[in-house]
Every structure is written in structure tokens, then in C-alpha cells.
Amino acid sequence: MPDATHVVVGIKWGANVFASFEFENKENYQKKYIEGILQANMEKIALSIKGSGSVQFTEDENQLKTSLSIKFFGDIIPQDEELPQTFEKTLELMKKVPSYLTKFNNGKGKPLEYTLYPLKNVEKFFQLETRIKRTLIDLNLETITLLEKEFDDLLQAKQKFNDFYNEVNENSDFVASDNLGEIYKKSHQIKTCEAAFREQIATKLVEVRSGTKKPITIEKILTKFHEKPGFIMDISAFIEKYTKLITTIKQIAVFKENKIIYLGKRDASDVLPMQNNGDIYLFYMNEELKIRNNQLYEDSYHYFLDLVRDVEKKQSKFVIIDYNIHPEVKTKKEIKICYYRNGKLVADDLYKSKKESLSWCIAKSQLTSSTLRKPATTTKLSIPCAGIKLNYHCPREKKTWTCEKCQTSIEYGYDNTFYCSCGGAAAESYSFKCSSPLHPDEFLTFTKDDLERYLPNKDAENEVNILLLGETGVGKSTFINAFINYLTFSSLEEAAKEELRAGIFTKFIITDDNCMERTIKIGYDDNECTVEGQSSTQYAKAHVFHIDDLTLRIIDTPGIGDTRGIEMDKQNLQNTLSYISNYGHLNVSSVVFNVSDT
């Protein structure tokens, strides 16, 4: 061989057998915990094979068995035996390898190691002359060290990226599509970059050792690749960029343990509230909003966790929705907690309402029943705080009270029962917490006798009942909605900044600047008919407003002159008379006309 440089002077015979241990982390153990146990087991097996005595595996080490997969590779793998799947059985097999070797290739096994000796040393030792023209330049130690370090660093960077890649891939349902595409693209780039690096180093090594290039050529390649995308520094920077993503993925396992759903891409966010009866809390956020409004995020997140821990809400559902994973979400992109009950929105921003509620006086009951129907006549609950009877120096004046859970006003039905959007409960089952700074950080209760002393008498109540009458389509429901907004907002500018309040379904038609008719629909109510040509309001219904000590009740009625005929008119009139008979008096009977009819 004219290009030969070395001669084989020795061969080491034997066999290699490798055991690969793979652990599937089904129970979401900490990575360092698993690595520690596996490493301890490897060391025990190695010590035992070397003959350093017997070893025992601990209970912690043995509990990994159910998630452990062991594979064997090598020159002599027994074909007629079942391969082991525990640490103990693996140790037994490894100790039998020498006995397997005696039956292979006359006991020699396979060549494992060759000892090479340079031909130029052979020439000198035996004083021989050869006709082989050879130029072989040894690399200096510095270049060899640089190359070794570069390949070691590349291997370590790839291992870190592969761990990162596998974790992301296993949880791809919780990773935004844009991020996922970028990670897959980077994986391909790393493989391509490594292949190019190896090819260039291999080519230049031959050229340097043959004397056609100088060793500095190797260093130039290293410098060039340091700046390339997909190489060591770029890999580290890429993983660092997605540190928060990995933190989120790990946090999802914690969420699951606490019965919190982190909504993946395969689940539709828009229909979620409609598919669930009972209470459901949706926490909307994304990484950009977390950074931009970190304090709001932290406060909202901890409030969300408080809701999860609340004993009364154990049957509720709690869901985190990331805008980046669910770009289809139609709501305004902001950090907020939406609260739904039986498919209907109760609070669009529960934490914001909570902050506002710090000035509220709140009450709660453990015995609220959603089946209790509110009577026809109620009044807003207005009583002092229970703290005045317990020497807590709470103000003695009467206060209006808000339900802690649904955050709507509590009303009294003159029947020893309090009512709110949650339903109703016996008055004595409620506990109270006023907004006074002198009130302790707890809810306080009245005795039954003290509470009855403060509850209003129906006969003495300041109450105004107004009956609205008018032909079909004249706008009675629209008038009520307008009245709600007049009471809610102090100015048109203030109303324009907030969502329109709708106590009753309303539909009307306007003509836009292009002379096109536009149908405007506000609110939803099963008391309203949306079929074209039919009367909207289907039966009488009261809408109650509390103004200081005054209870104002406006009674909406089906339109006179119903489009479905005179028989329906008669039925509507009978239903209206039956409904208003529940009230002791009417203060005003108001007839609404179209402007063109007056």
C-alpha cells in the first residue's frame, strides 16, 4: 500500500455488550431526581461487575421499574433467553458475559482494539529503506485540544437541545404553532450545520496533515462556525430564548394536579363555556401580556389560585387560555378572568370586579339554593353590619349588600329569605363583611332575633310600581334598557367607554350613512321573541331598580295589538292582569306611543 503510514502490531480480542436504560417519566418526577437514581444504579452495577461485592437496590430505585425500558446491544447477546428488564436481572446477565464469550469464535470473540506502530519508526528500528513517498505532519497539541473541546461542546449543546426538543414535542398541544414551527426549523438547521462542520474539518485535516494547508486553517473553520446559526452558541441562545416555555410546560403538570385545565390547541375555546353547566372560570393571558403587565398578571393569577382553593367552588371548572395557543379567541386580548354560570357570562373581568368590590359590603351563605325562586315583591337588602352587635365599631348606618359569589345585589323577599343571582337562602344563614377598615378580616353573623329586628316590614317599604303598556313594537323594552343605562352611567361619555347594559332583549332598525338598514340586537332573554312580525315581549315581567331607599319596579308587558291575532291579545291581557295582582298597588300606568301617533 503506497499510502500506508502504520503497521498493526497487536490485537485485543473480546466482546462488547451495552445496556441502555430509558425511563418514561409518567409521574412527572423532577429530572434531577430521576438522573440521580439512574446514575446510582449504574454505579452499583459497575462495582458489582468488577467484583467489589454484592449490592442492594433501594425502595426508591425499585419503584422506577414500572417505567423503565432496558435494551441490549453488543457482540454476544443471548438469543435463547428472555432479556432482563430490572436492574438485578441486568446485573446477572452482565456477569455471565465471560461465559458466553467462551462459546464464540473459539473463545476469542471479536477484535476490539488494534495496536498501531508508525512505519517510519519501523524503518529506523530495523534500518530499512522504503520507496514509499510519504508526507505526514502531526497536529500540534493546541489544535488537537481545540478540536476535542469543540466536538465535546457541540455534543453537550445537542444533548441539551434534544432534551428541550423532546419535551416540547411531547407537549406540542400546549405550544403555539409559530413557536413549534420555529423549533422544528432549528432542529433541521442544527443537523445541517453539524454535517457541514464535520465535512469541512475532515477535509481540512487531510490537507493539513499532508502538508498542503497550515494548521491555522482548522482554527479559521472553528471561528467561522462559531458565528453560524445552528452551532454551539446559537443553540444555547435558542434554548435560553424558550426558557419560559419550558417553565410553562412543567407548570402544566402542577396545574393538572390542582384540577386546573391548561387548554390545548385541540380544544375549542369559544364553545367551552356553553358545554359546561355550573360555574366555569376562564383565565386569559399570554407571555407578552405577562411581561407588559406583570403586576396585573401576578395579582390575577394569585386571585385565580384563591378561587381554585375555595372549598365552595370544588365542583367548578378552572381553565387557563393562552391567546398565543388560541388566536381564534374573539375577546379583547387582555389579562382577565371570565366567570360563566350555566353557559351565561356572569363577569367579563372577575378580578377587576374584585378590586372594585373592596368598597362593597359583601355577604355569603353556605346554604344557597339555585332552585329557590324569587317572589314577585322584593327589596334591596339594606341593614347595618353584624359588627355593630359584636363591638367591632363598624358604622351603624344601613348598608346595601352584595353576594360574594355572583357579585350581584342581595334582595330581601319579606319571607326571611335573601335572594341574588345564585338563588336564595335563609336570612339567618348569611354572614357579613362591611367595607369599613374597622371590620375584622372575617365574616360576622347576626343572631336570629337581631337580624329580624333590622329587616324591613313590607307595609312600611317605600316602593313605586310602574306598569308599561303600548302597542306591539312601540319600544317598551327599548325604553327599559335605556332607563337601566341612565341609572348606571352619569354621562354619555362614560357610557361610551363601557359595555352597554341590557336588562332585556331589544331589537331595532337604524339607517346608516349609506342608506342601508341595520338591525341592532342587544341582550338575550327567553321572554323575548325574535321571529320577524311577532310581538317581542311574550309575557309580563318586572325589572327592579333600587335608588337609595326607593324600590322602583317597572313592569314590561306584551304589546297590545299582537300580530298573532285577537285571541293572543286576550291571552296576553289575562296574563298581565294575573301578574300585576301579585303587587299590592300600582303607582303609575304608563302608555307608550310612537312619536308619529301623538
| Other beta carbons less than 10 A from residue 362's beta carbon | 19
Rounded to whole angstroms, how far apart are CA atoms 358 and 556?
34
* CB-side neighbour CA atoms (13 Å) of 197: 23
What is the full per-residue pLDDT of the chain (598 aa) written as tens digits? 666 778 899 999 888 888 887 777 666 666 677 777 777 777 777 777 766 556 666 665 555 666 678 888 888 877 777 888 777 788 788 888 888 888 888 888 889 899 988 877 887 877 776 665 556 677 788 888 889 999 999 999 999 999 999 999 989 999 998 999 999 999 999 999 999 999 999 998 888 877 788 888 888 898 899 889 999 999 999 999 999 899 888 888 888 888 899 999 888 777 677 666 778 899 999 989 999 999 999 999 988 988 888 755 567 889 999 999 998 888 889 999 998 888 888 888 888 877 776 778 999 999 999 888 888 888 889 999 998 878 778 888 889 999 988 888 999 999 999 999 989 999 999 999 998 888 888 899 999 888 988 898 776 557 788 888 888 777 788 888 888 788 777 788 888 877 777 777 777 777 777 777 787 777 655 444 444 444 555 678 888 776 666 778 888 888 777 677 788 878 888 888 877 776 767 888 888 887 766 6
**pLDDT at residue number 59:** 60
Q: In DSSP terms, which residues pair with 493 in a beta bridge?
A: none
**pLDDT at residue number 532:** 46
**pLDDT at residue number 134:** 58
Residues contacting residue 545 through CB under 8 Å, at least 6 positions apart:
483, 484, 487, 551, 552, 553, 554
Residue type present at position 570: K
Q: In DSSP terms, which residues pair with 59 in a beta bridge?
A: none
Q: Where are the domains of the chain?
A: 6-126, 141-243, 266-355, 367-457, 463-597
**pLDDT at residue number 528:** 44
266-355: CATH topology? Glutaredoxin (3.40.30)
Is the CB of residue 564 less than 8 Å from the CB of residue 474?
A: no
The CATH code of the domain at 463-597 is: 3.40.50
**pLDDT at residue number 136:** 66
**pLDDT at residue number 194:** 94
**pLDDT at residue number 29:** 65
What are all long-range contacts of 151-154, with beta carbons under 8 Å and residues at least 24 apart?
Answer: 153/232, 154/194, 154/197, 154/231, 154/232
Question: What is the number of residues in the chain?
Answer: 598
**pLDDT at residue number 565:** 76
